[in-house]
Amino acid sequence: MVGEPANFQAWDTDLILATLPRSGTLWLKSLSFATINRTRYPTSSKEHPLLTTSPHDLVPFLEFKHLYGSNSFPDFTKFQSPRVLAVHVPYHSLAESIKNTPNCKIVYLCRNPKDNFISIWQFQNRLKAAKNVNDPEPLPIEEALDLFCHGVSLYGPFWDHLLGYWKESLEKPEKVLFLKYEDMMKDPKPHLKRLAEFSGYPFSLEEENEGVLDEILGLSSFDLLKNLDVNKDGITGFNVQNKIFFRKGEVGDWKNHLTPLMAERVDRLIEEKLHGSGLVFSN
Ligand code: A3P
């Protein structure tokens, strides 16, 4: 059920977005879709697809067969190039064709561990409540943190997921672009430019002067995405309302949930796991 279709064949024009859940996937999907398709869909258009459709539908996951109505993967060969597709799987589990197709590029977005943990924990509790499962009691944060620190997370331990893509981005910078949510939140434009250049769709000076970057950031803004009015019946296959994916969209919300001892535990663990890799988080 999880994992790309075994016969998935990457194209040289593909852009694959890789993230851990709750690390800004929807934001990255929206920024990438708007950037790469800006000739087909002008960013100033009142009919831009992002104004009416969830980025989860515009940039489908290569995994989760159950998300698609027929419980089988769509025929990705019918998609128009350039294809923008998404995965949550770790680097080592990616289809070989994604790794080996020379110009198929990968953008990885990660988030600082404490905020990512809080966002996942909150999301799981919100999902439980929304889906009316038999046991709607929220998972106590202590229990959730214990699991996280023991590497029991969706798609494997947090640190392994990051390190897999991080190492590839160092070895093959033309293949894997590694971004951090916090950096993008602080100063989104330079990162949007990097994303565009890396993907092979750099902004011209004229576009910059015309405000295309601002338009893309606007189309991808938290408020706009959260208030999309199209998914009353739920996004394809997820069976939940669009709003559930959006909570605060802030950096440092962990401070409202973790005790100093809990925060120190995560900091020490992550420091140890990432030691020597050159990958660091400051908050
Ligand atoms: P919080 O739970 O901290 O609010 P994903 O898309 O991978 O599920 O990530 C969800 C997280 O990204 C949530 O974080 C959500 O609020 C935040 N987010 C969603 N859209 C965003 C946007 N346009 N800009 C910034 N953050 C966004």
Q: What is the pLDDT of residues 31-55, one digit of tens each?
A: 999 999 999 999 999 999 999 999 9
66-73 LR contacts (CB < 8 Å, sep 24+): 66/1, 66/237, 67/236, 67/237, 67/238, 68/236, 68/237, 69/236, 69/237, 73/5
- Catalytic one among 88, 161, 191, 275? 88
Distance 224 CA to ligand 1 centre (A): 12
Q: Which DSSP string do the residues of 105-157 spell out, in sequence order?
A: EEEEEE--HHHHHHHHHHHHHHHHHHTT-S--SPPPHHHHHHHHHTT-STTS-
Among 19, 22, 117, 121, residue to substitute to test ligand 1 (most atoms within 8 Å of Cβ): 22
Domains of the chain and any CATH numbers = 15-113+160-246 (3.40.50.300)
Q: What is the DSSP letter of 277?
A: S
Q: Are 256 and 119 in contact (CB under 8 A)?
A: no
- Looking at mean pLDDT, say which of 68-72, 134-138, 164-168 comes out highest: 164-168
- How far is it, in rounded angstroms, from Cα 174 to Cα 20? 21
For 147-193, write each residue's pLDDT tens digit.
999 999 999 999 999 999 999 999 999 999 999 999 999 999 999 99
High-pLDDT (> 90) share of the chain, %: 79
Which pLDDT belongs to residue 130? 79
State the pLDDT confidence band at 9, using cuts at 50, 70 and 90: very high
Say which residues have a Cβ less than 8 Å from residue 102's Cβ, sequence separation at least 6. Answer: 12
Summarised one tens digit per residue, pLDDT across range 234-263 is 455 667 788 889 999 999 999 999 999 999
Q: What is the pLDDT of residues 267-281, one digit of tens each?
A: 999 999 999 999 999
- Alpha carbons 173 and 260: distance in angstroms, whole number: 36
